[in-house]
Amino acid sequence: MPRISEAARVERRQQLIDAGWRCAGRMGYSELTVDDICAEADVSKGAFYGYFRSKQDLLLALLDEDASELDGVLDTLGSRNLSNIERLRSFAREMCTRGSDQARVQVRSDLWAAILTERVIRERMVAAVGRRRAVLRGWIEDAVANGQLSPIPANAFASLLLALGDGLTLHSSLDPMGFRWANIARVLAAIFAGLSNDEE
């Protein structure tokens, strides 16, 4: 029997991850089963276990993919010719856009629940949040130093931005109709306008 190529393995694994996102968006991660994911991906259960040891292993893959995408957003903003205050605004807008993705809202909520009992998930989330806080803190410190932003504690503001994103995501999972992400974006823009010393 011919061995599957590495490219095909990567593609099949991604197929299962994508199926996991779709299933989580429809039924919630805690409710879905390996059978649900296999049916969605149109693969056998044996194929699933060729890539993931358990449903929790898939959850870690979803966490890693989400973290990698958000890290990519930060990297892209950091490389663009933008002021640091505009980088912060853009990051806040991106968090609102991502918050409207119901599958991601559901998975993030499940991840926050899992950190209470799952050490490996907690450690990965702590590392991911720490990376993001450090990047945002650097932008805030530079914006304050350049006079673009009123003097504020940089680490506290970075933590606030991250906590707003996560907290609003949890609220959205509790009550999807409780608020509109577009309105959250407007409020964040007003907060930035109040703290900003520039013309925008």
- The pLDDT tens digits of the residues spanning 135-190 come to 999 999 999 999 999 899 999 999 999 998 888 888 887 787 888 888 988 898 88
Given a cut of 50, whether residue 200 has pLDDT beyond it is no
Q: Map tokens 């299962």 to a residue.
A: 16
Number of residues in the chain: 200
CATH topology identical between 1-52 and 55-195: no
For residue range 44-94, list pLDDT tens digits in order: 999 999 999 998 899 889 888 988 988 999 999 999 999 999 999 999 988
Predicted local distance difference test score (pLDDT) of residue 198: 59
How far is Cα 105 from Cα 172, in angstroms, rounded to an integer? 7
Given a cut of 60, whether residue 1 has pLDDT beyond it is no
The topology under which CATH files domain 55-195 is: Tetracycline Repressor; domain 2 (1.10.357)
Average pLDDT over residues 183-199: 83
| Residue 196 CA: distances (Å) to CA of 25, 83, 160, 193 | 37, 12, 16, 5
Domain-wise residue ranges, the chain: 1-52, 55-195
Model pTM? 0.82
Question: Domain spanning 1-52 has what CATH number?
Answer: 1.10.10.60
CA atoms within 13 A on the CB side of 36: 17
